[in-house]
Amino acid sequence: MNDIISTPPAPASPDGSKVVTSDWWPEIDVNDLRDRLKLEGEIPHPRLVEAIEHAVIVTVDELADWQKAKKAAGFERLEDVDPDNVLGNRTREEVLFLSAVAAHAAARLAARHPDLTATREGSERADTRRSLADSFLSDATRAIRSIKREPGTMSELV
């Protein structure tokens, strides 16, 4: 007779895990972002935190001139920019900022963890991951343009 011992999965990320940004930008709840991306426990906590930190840096860099103009106009935090435009318990800009960070983090995770098998199936999975990363980067760009109130662009290959 064989006994099967089942061990529960390791917790995705410790409760209360946050990536803290400057006072102007909102902090990122690691488990909330994990849920948004439907990662469950498959990405270890340190790898996810690194991807989020990178995503925050990229997103903040892309919004640097916009942030500087908003600060010069007297806004002390992102949530002060349009406080009447609220979705749930966050302002429009906070929702879009978190969306851009999540998309950048997802793109980094997809691009940096390709399938390394040399088989045809492995190559196809790697192509799918690259395509997925490109799609996430496109989502991040749309969110950032929306924060800046810039028009998006649509293109189609012919």
Q: Checking phi first, is residue 144 left (phi over 0); if not, alpha (psi -120 to 50) or beta?
A: alpha
The pLDDT value recorded for residue 109 is 92
Residue 114 lies in a domain: yes
Residue 13 lies in a domain: no
Structural tokens at position 147: 């924060």
> How does pLDDT run across 58-114, given as a tens digit for each residue?
999 999 999 999 999 999 999 999 999 999 999 999 999 999 999 999 999 988 765
Residue 155 lies in a domain: no
Prediction pTM value: 0.83
User: In terms of residue numbers, what domain contains 56?
Assistant: 18-148
Q: What is the distance, to the nearest Å, from the Cα of residue 51 to the centroid of all Cα atoms in its chain?
A: 8
Residue 153 lies in a domain: no
Count how many domains the chain has: 1
> How does pLDDT run across 1-39, given as a tens digit for each residue?
566 666 656 557 999 999 999 999 999 999 999 999 888
Query: What's the Rg (C-alpha) of the chain?
Result: 19
Residue 27 lies in a domain: yes
Residue 7 lies in a domain: no
The pLDDT value recorded for residue 26 is 96
